[in-house]
Structure 1
Amino acid sequence: MSTVFFASYLIGLRDGLEAALVVTILLTVLARSQRRDGLAPLWSGVAAAIATAAALGALLTYVATSLLDGVRLELFEAVTSLVAVAMVTWMIFWMRRSARTIKAELTGKLTEALGMGPAAIAALAFVAVIREGVEMVLLVFSAAQAAAQSVAPLLGMLGGVLSAVLLGFLMYKAVARVNLGRLFTWTAVLLILVAAGIAKYAVHGFQTAGALPGAGAVAYDLSGTVEPTSWYGTLLAATVNLTPSATVLEAAAWLLYAAGVLLIFFRPAPLAAKRQAAAEQKAAA
C-alpha cells in the first residue's frame, strides 16, 4: 500500500502545505494586529472550505460508484481527470508567480476584511483554502481511478494533509525553518509528473469510451518483462501512471505534458518580470 498512496500523499502534502501557509499568514496578521476577535470567523471559513471539499469528494465518489457505469463512467472519469490536470497546472504556476507577494496580498485583503466584519473574514479564509481543497480532491479522485484503488489514495491524502498541518504549526511557532521556495519547486516537479500520468489516464478513458481513436495502436508493450504486480510496477503505475503497456495517444499525452510543462516551469523568467517581482517584493517589505 505504501507505493500506491505515495502520489496521494504528495498531493495532500503540497496542497495542504499551501493551505497551511495561507492560514499561517492570516493568523500572524491577526496576532500582530491584536484582533483575536477575528480568529473565530477565520477558523469557521477554514472549516467551511474543508467541509465543502469533503462534500465534493463524496459526491464524485457517489456518482462514479452508484450512478454511472460503462461508457458514461469512462467519460466522467476522463473529464474529471482533465479538470484536475488543468487545476494543478494553473496552481503550480500561480504559486510560482505569487510566492513573493502572497503575504502582502493576504495582509492587505485581511486588513480590509477586518474593517468589514466577521463575515468578510470568514469569506476570505474560505476562498483562500477552498482552491487547494478542490484541487486536492480532484487530483486524488483521478489518482484513485487510475490506480484502481479506493482506500490507499484516501489514506495517502490524509497523511499528506496531517504532515502539512504539523509543518505549518511548527513554522507558525518558529520551531522549524523551511526553505519553502525549494520545497515548492521540487514538489511541483513531482506533481507535474503525477499530472502527466492523470492526463494519460484521461486519454485512456476517452479511448475506452470511443471518443478518441487509436485504442488499438499500441506504443509499447512491456507486460512480458515488467510484472504489473511487482513493487516497481505498482510504484510507477500509482505515482505517474506509467503502465506496462500504452497506446500511442496515451504515451504522447504523457510525454508532451511532462516535457512541455517542465520546460516552461524551469524556463528563466524574462528580465522585465524579474524586475517587476523585485519591485513588488521591495514594496511588500
Structure 2
Amino acid sequence: MFAALLIGLREGLEAALVVGILVAYIRRLGRADVLGRMWVGIGLAIALALGIGAVLTFGAYALTTEAQEIIGGSLSLVAVGMVTWMIFWMQKAGRTMKSTLQGGVDRALAHGSLWALVTVGFVSVAREGIETTLLLWSMVQSFGDAPQSLLGALLGLLIAVVVGWLLARGAVRLDLRRFFAWTGGFLVIVAAGVLAYAVMDLQEAGVLGGPFTAVAPTDAVTGAVLTGLAGFPFGWAFDVTSVIAPGGAWATILQATVGFMPHMTWLQVIAWALYMAVVGTFFVRGLTRSRAARPVPAAASAPQAERADLVTNSSGAA
C-alpha cells in the first residue's frame, strides 16, 4: 500500500503540476473562456487511463494462464520502459516543461480549433495516466489480489490533487526538486522489482529459459531444479522461504520496496542487478549534473502574481 501510495503521489503530482501550468497560463492570457476545452481533453486522458486499467484487469480472465503470463510479463516490460524514460525525461527536459506546455497552448489558440486545445490537455495528462496505470497494474499482478495496492494508489492521487491545488494557490511551499529526486530514486528501485517480476512471468510462460522449462539444471537423483551456483543460469539463485515466508509481511514489504522475493531465479537476479547498476548509475549522474547546473535562487520577495511561476519553475528544475 505504501509503495503504491508513493507512486500515485509522484505521478499524480506531476500531472497536477502540468494542469496547473496550463490553467495559470490560459488565465494569464485572459482566455478563461477556453478552459472548458482543455478540461475536456484532461477528462478524456483520465478516461483512457481508467479504460486501459479495466481492459487489463478484466480482459485477462478470458485468456489462458500461459497467455496471461506472456501479456503480463510483456506489459510489465513496457511499464519499466515508460517509467525509466519518464525519470530521465524529467531530469533532462523538466527545466523546459513550462515553456513547452505554454507553446502548445499558444499554437492551439492561434489555430482557433476546438480540438487543438482539447488535444493539448489530453496529451499533457495521458502520458502520466498510462504510465501510472501500467506500473500499478504490474505491481498488483505481482502481489496477486491486492486491494491495498489500489487503495494506496487512490490515496496517493488524492493527496497529489490536494497538494497541487495548494501549491497553485500559494498556500504551501514544497521543494519539488528534492521531492522528485527522492521519488525518482524510489521509482528506479520499484522498476527494477517490476522487471524481475516480468522475467518470472516470461519464464513461467516458457518464453525465457528457467526452472519451469526443459533447460533447467536438475539434480540427477531427485530431479529437483538446482539452487545456487549449481543452478546457474536457468535454475534458482536462492531459496530463503524457510526464513521469509512468501506470503508473510516481510516478504510483502521487501517485494514492494526493493523487488526482493524469497525464491528468485538467476535470470531475475541478473535482470534486477543490471537494471540497478546501469539505470541507478545514470540517475545519480543526472542528479549530480542537475545540482551543478542549478541557477541562483530568485529573490524570496516575489510578487503575488508570480507565485505560479515560482511553483512551476521549481517543478521544471526537478
Are residues 253 and 143 of structure 1, via their aligned partners in 2, closer, same or farther at CA, if it must alter by over 3 Å? same
Tell me, in whole angstroms, the C-alpha distance in 2 between the residues paired with 1:19 and 1:193.
22
Is the 2:88–2:283 contact (alpha carbons within 8 Å) kept by the matching residues of 1?
A: yes
The alpha carbon displacement at 1:228 in A equals: 2.9
Choose from 52, 74, 81 the match for 1:56.
52
Distance in 1 between residues matched to 2:93 and 2:116, nearest whole Å: 22
Structure 2 residue identity aligned to 1:101: T
CA distance in 1, matches of 2:285, 2:196: 24
CA shift at 1:245, angstroms? Answer: 1.4
- Displacement of 1:61 in angstroms is 0.8
Structure 1 counterpart of 2:257, which letter? T
1:236 correspondence with 2:254: yes
Question: 1:240 deviation in Å?
Answer: 3.3
Partner of 1:219: 237
Note the residue ranges of structure 2 that are not aligned, 5 or more in a row. 212-224, 226-234, 296-312
Equivalence for 1:253: 271
1:110 corresponding residue in structure 2: 105
Tell me if 1:67 matches 2:62.
yes
Q: Distance in 2 between matches of 1:17 and 1:108?
A: 21
Alignment match of 2:147 (pick from 141, 144, 151): 151
- Contact between 1:195 and 1:240, CA under 8 Å: does it hold in 2? no
Q: Where in structure 2 are the equivalents of 1:117-136 lying within 5 Å? A: 117=112, 118-136=114-132
Aligned-partner Cα distance in 1 for 2:238–2:103: 53
Tell me how far 1:38 sits from its aligned partner: 1.8
AA matched with 2:280: L
When structure 1 is superposed on structure 2, of 118-127 and 145-154 the one drifting more is 145-154
Instruction: Provide the TM-score with structure 2 as the length reference.
Output: 0.81
Please give the alpha-carbon distance, in whole angstroms, between the structure 1 residues aligned to 2:207 and 2:66: 10
Q: Secondary structure at the match of 2:106?
A: helix
Distance 1:260 1:22 in 2: 29
Match of 2:135 among 132, 135, 139: 139
Cα distance in 2 for partners of 1:155, 1:26 equals 29
User: In the alignment, what sits opposite 1:167?
Assistant: 163
TM-score by length of 1: 0.90
Q: Which of 6, 9, 13 is the equivalent residue of 2:9? A: 13
8 A Cα contact 2:203 2:210, kept in partner: yes
| SS state at 2:130 partner | helix
Q: Is 116-125 or 244-253 further displaced after alignment?
A: 116-125
Aligned residues: 272
Aligned equivalents of 1:41, 1:153: Cα separation in 2: 33
Pick the structure with greater CA Rg. 2
Name the CA distance, whole Å, in 2 between partners of 1:98 and 1:38: 27
Instruction: State how far apart, in whole Å, the 1-side matches of 2:25 and 2:150 are.
Output: 33
Instruction: Find the counterpart in structure 1 of residue 220 from structure 2.
Output: none
Segments of structure 1 that go 5 or more residues without pairing to the other structure are none
**Are the structure 2 counterparts of residues 244 and 270 from structure 1 closer, same or farther at C-alpha, using a change threshold of 3 Å?**
closer
Partner of residue 188, structure 1: 184
2:20 aligned partner: 24
Tell me what 2:217 maps to. Answer: none
Shift of 1:155: 1.4
What SS does the aligned partner of 1:219 have?
strand
CA RMSD of aligned residues (A): 2.0
Contact map agreement 1:146 1:241 (CA 8 A) in 2: no
Pair 1:269–1:195, CA change in 2 (3 A):
closer
Q: Deviation digits for residues 109-130 of structure 1, max 9, x if unmatched? A: 1122122233211110100000
In 1, Cα distance between the equivalents of 2:144 and 2:254?
A: 14
Moved more, 109-118 or 252-261: 109-118
1:36 corresponds to 2:32:
yes
